[in-house]
Structure 1
């Protein structure tokens, strides 16, 4: 039985760790799955002469050159090559930071990787970008967190924001609104023409728009980043900070990690001011009129010429529509055609549009399918006049109806293929 300070990772029937035998070449993969050394090379680097028994409870007798471990076993996948395998999900842990991926080590806690592994490009897809040891105290995650904190507003009295294990905020009275959205490089934005500050603005604003569509106000935000090495995080947070100030929605915490593309995930809380209920998508009734808070398509028109348009969230308009007793509401982030379809489906009504307000420089197709305008679409009873908005149609009693000027409503708008 191994000492108490060691552990093994079970991936199959129990087997007793044996003394390693000399490696046996395998025709398919170069090393036998019965017993083997760690490959003689790690992407061209000498890995030492560590022998590993590749039974399910395999243990490393001595760490390979360039890798320093705590006193735990290092279990390798079958057919280990260049430090990678084809087994179950495994994890490399660097100090207190875990990097989870499909092809790494499990069981052991890696506390040091020599520069030889850093220089080895073949290991980068497996181990990611890992700073040489020892890591300078001012160039890592915690220095980044301090830079982020310096760009944002400080906590109000009685609350704790960035810097602790969790943010502490006052619980609101009445309904608590929760929203989250993620934007991904290559899917939602193109960094060849969009600035990182614009990306930060969009990441927060798209969530604020969801709160506005309920007739609420945003209260607190959490921001999580996955980013490639060398990303200008300061500029990204400049945009996030601008949006946080514009929408009076402080960023109170989050997380940072590394990855192949930039991913920004934001979660928001919101409240309904003055009591009352939020406006849902599901409250429209046949005969209700359909309104939109402004012209559509400006964002799509800008995107077509590789410009980034900072569309505003309509927080005040959402509150005004709620106070005027709107029956249903949705934001225009997916394009008018898609969004009226979502509202109609949730309410169990049909939609007959008779006009589409188009922003200057945009086309009707931009307005119907472009998305990311954040104008609000809402419904009101026919006998009630709203304080804002452009009338664009009516709800019908045929749940299947989706028409524009008597013809079929074009099937346009955003929808991810998953």
Structure 2
């Protein structure tokens, strides 16, 4: 009899969660009908569906024309987004459940619900990795910040898989922390559906796994990636070449996506050279920090991974602000270090950062928004978060990488000895 209240509570929570998900999906469906788009999902949904239903390659000209018809109602002009499939072919494993839904608006609504849940789980993963315990009030503020932040909303509106990829990356880190290296390797292999987001951090993990002789992690990643490639090559033998053709075409129809390209817009004479200089500085920094992480423990890896993910956005690889939530747990690392080391002052810094990063970034977006046929974010939006995070991570580097006992406690302990 004593177990009944617990069972009722658990059942009630399950029912409540299900109702919330149903309501959220309904709200997403209404939004999808009133706001056509989801520019990141549509090419993958249509490309995967055409392959499943008609056997067409998602990279074929016929598929691209059909995607353009769905997106624009006509063939795309040369100066417009060509809405190519672009992703590796094994991304069909991710998109197939949604491609089986014949109504795109319903598929988009369900997909958006998955992304919204991913944001909540990403916050939970970040808190767990950084071992940061929050009061209910602080947790509520953090969740509101994460769910309503510019970078989150932009990814949701575009139905970008980056939110799910970000969650998968940190689930892999949780698995590494707990010694489940086979699972971690599998999860990291799955994240390569958006390779530009994860290529550097995966390279770091592989180097670290070698230095710590964690061979299961190393071979699990390579083995699963090889398996994904081999299985899909049975379906379309030359898909890698077809994918490469689309990847090389991608920069021809997209807005600037690297610091060098952005600087070239602002300063045509020297912009690209400034971008190259930034690349050299960041690559040198990463080489140094990766060398420092060689043979170190998981906490050192986690800090270096945060630095690597921030640098990835500025190092010269094509990126998008929709990808920026992958840096969120690293931001929590900075906040957790401030909270641990400075107590009340740390909380003031955290709330000040919330205000700066939330209202400041939204204001910057509205102030620099370029209005034309379609609203386009200002190029300045690529810089605030990675720059803030690079500064913040070096600010807390000593605290994060040294023994876990708080600095103030160590100072008090040493003063008592004197």
Which TM-score applies when normalising by structure 2? 0.24
Structure ranking higher in helix proportion? 2
Where relative contact order (Cα < 8 A, 6+ residues apart) is larger, the structure is 2
Question: Structure 1 length normalisation: TM-score?
Answer: 0.24
**Structure with the larger strand share:** 1
